[in-house]
Amino acid sequence: MVDLRNVRGWIAAGALFIAMLVVLAGPSYAAAPVRLEEHCRIGAPADTAIAEISKRLDRCAAPAPKGYFGTLWVAYDRLPDFTPLKKTWRLILDNNRADAVDVWMIGSDGKADHWTFDPNASDREWAAANYMSMLVTPERPVSRILVRLINARSHSYVRAPQIARARDFAPLERDQAAIYGIGVGMLALTILFHLSLFFAMRRRFQLIYCAHVGLLVVYGLSYSGLIHIFAPSLGAAAISNILAFAMAAGTATGISFIIEFLGASTPRWLRRWAGFAALGSLTGAVGLLLVPDRLSYPAFLAANLLAMHTILLTTAILARACVRRVPMASTIALGWVLPIGVSLLYPARTFGLIGAETIPDGLMMFATTIECLILSLPVAARIRNLRMEHERAHERHVMLERQAQTDALTGLANRRGFGDALARIGVAQADPAPLALLVIDIDHFKRVNDQHGHATGDAILRHVAGHVARVAGSGAIVARYGGEEFVVALRNYDLMRAGTLAERIRNSIGVTFDMEPDLPRVTISIGVAAGGSDEIEILLADADCALYRAKNEGRNKVMLADGPLVYAAAA
């Protein structure tokens, strides 16, 4: 069963994560790098002269569209004060899908300092929030920064570059890396937690949820740059593709989890619609990885449209579940409010509905981490309820099984229970062991029933059953074999020892009736057989034959199988 202390632990961990965000983000963002403001972006051959490019950028007559594929030139004119000069600055650029990056810092005299950057090199520098990072040292006052992106897919270039003194950027980089690392760690722990629960309960919604969180972990690793620890050869284009795939596929696993978790409370037609939406989002995610570069922009738009449709449908399903008061739907909705809102911002930015800088760095990481922490509560609660139902069903099964093996009148094992108990003995002992069987019958029981009634007969049966069980002891297997017949199995008994116990049962039965004046006194006859535990059927037949011999000899006797009379009532 899921311990509630685990749930409280997740809540505490989430509170700690939020507190760390506040503590770490506060002082760092006060000294954040300056964001460069884009002046113009044009498409032109890579070998165009810098002077010619600067003139075209000044006019900005034909800016490159979002679907442009080729070499891009981007100018930034509103710059920070680069004093003192000849000091190291850190410039971070959005993680573009490009083959090469060149940066020129142009002074008012027209002279420029040039730096190159390979975004797909395995040893490239990176910054938290998936920025390409490079160190620059201006040699003169800078009036324009010019960036050339060779073979770039323009639609991926959405965040403005940032620049700051390298020494000022270091603490910010440290704090951001710590925040993203904590977020990725929380997501990874969530997967481990729910995978452990899956092996206990094995429900499909658990696997879907783990797949969803797994995609978020991949997104977090790629976004934070931690993925380079595991895959140092990944370049900028590959990481951008992984990020896009994880976000698009995450909408598919998200709606699949919602439908599976809510179950039959969602109409079939809506579940089918959600299934098609999930398939569409997954297809769009795969398309982002497989389409040629020149078709990447249409694929990007299609994937965003499919993802937006899936997100809106997820919102509608959750809203419907909350209105109908489906159990735990409100908690799920609470966990999804922030990530759904943030997820809608990305397609909106793609289609130009909001500005490029509307989405702060790390917002999606924060939203997905909070989502997983909150969603762990209903998932854990559902698993706890399933576990309780499973245990109750198991208890009912055990009770019914016990009832099926127990004689209702006497409380002893019935014929089936006796057979199962003997079978368990055989399983427990690989080699045959000594075993003795006593078959006991109440003498003239039909006459007692006819004279005193069935109620008295039932009382006599319960009385004899209790006496036989007490004398036989806890190590014996005692059962009512049918009618007025009882059977006793004695492990590690030989024939003579079993006969002695049988006589003790027969001889003491009369004394017990002295304490029950309302019951007529009865006698019993017993047949005894002994052999190996692998000869149950033979022993039963031999003991039954001995019982019939005892009855034929006048009853109220103990008779050994295939042997002489050993005990008999006094004449």
Q: Is the pLDDT of residue 413 over 90?
A: no
The 3-state DSSP class for residue 362 equals coil
Residues 6 or more apart whose CB falls under 8 angstroms from that of 419 comprise: none
Percent of the chain clearing pLDDT 70 (strictly above): 88
Please state which of the ranges 27-36, 336-345, 465-474 shows the lowest mean pLDDT: 27-36
What per-residue confidence (pLDDT) applies to 440? Answer: 93
Q: Is the pLDDT of residue 568 over 60?
A: no
pLDDT (average), residues 385-410: 77
Of residues 564 and 91, the one with the higher pLDDT is: 91
Please state which of the ranges 84-88, 366-370, 495-499, 533-537 shows the lowest mean pLDDT: 84-88
pLDDT (average), residues 77-94: 79
pLDDT by residue (tens digit) across 301-327? 888 889 889 989 999 998 998 888 888
Cα separation values, 505 from 259, 473, 497, 508, 557, Å: 66, 11, 13, 6, 11
The kind and range of the H/E element at 44 are none
Domains of the chain (ranges, CATH numbers)? 4-28+174-389 (1.20.1070), 33-169 (2.60.40), 415-568 (3.30.70.270)
Of residues 401 and 22, the one with the higher pLDDT is: 401
Instruction: Single out the catalytic residue among 173, 260, 371, 484.
Output: 484
What per-residue confidence (pLDDT) applies to 4? Answer: 40
pLDDT (average), residues 277-289: 90
Reply yes or no on whether 537 is catalytic: no
d(CA 298, CA 546): 93
d(CA 209, CA 151): 38
d(CA 214, CA 131): 22
Q: Is the pLDDT of residue 343 over 60?
A: yes
Give DSSP secondary structure letters for 166-202: HHHHHHHHHHHHHHHHHHHHHHHHHHHHHHHHHHHH-
Of residues 6 and 174, the one with the higher pLDDT is: 174
What per-residue confidence (pLDDT) applies to 439? Answer: 93
Helices (H) and strands (E) in the chain — how many of each? 15, 16
pLDDT (average), residues 105-118: 87
Give DSSP secondary structure letters for 53-118: HHHHHHHT-SPPPTT-EEEEEEEEEE-----SSSS-EEEEEE----SEEEEEEEETTS-EEEEEE-
Residues 6 or more apart whose CB falls under 8 angstroms from that of 327 comprise: none
What are 169's two structure tokens? 């950027």
Cα separation values, 143 from 35, 79, 117, 135, Å: 15, 7, 21, 18
pLDDT (average), residues 418-429: 74
- Return the closest-CA partner of residue 546 out of 392, 427, 433, 439: 439
d(CA 495, CA 528): 7
> pLDDT grade, residue 104 (50/70/90)?
very high
pLDDT (average), residues 359-371: 79
Of residues 438 and 202, the one with the higher pLDDT is: 438
Q: Write the DSSP symbol of residue 349.
A: H
Q: How many residues make up the chain in this entry?
A: 571
Q: Is the pLDDT of residue 438 over 90?
A: yes
Of residues 70 and 193, the one with the higher pLDDT is: 70
pLDDT by residue (tens digit) across 32-57? 688 888 888 999 999 998 889 988 99
- Return the closest-CA partner of residue 437 out of 472, 483, 474: 472
Maximum average pLDDT range among 235-239, 344-348, 518-522: 518-522
> Cα-flanking dihedrals φ and ψ of residue 233, to 5°?
-85, -5
Residues 6 or more apart whose CB falls under 8 angstroms from that of 92 comprise: 33, 127, 131, 132, 133, 134, 161, 162, 163
pLDDT by residue (tens digit) across 239-268? 888 888 988 898 999 899 888 888 888 899
Of residues 96 and 458, the one with the higher pLDDT is: 458
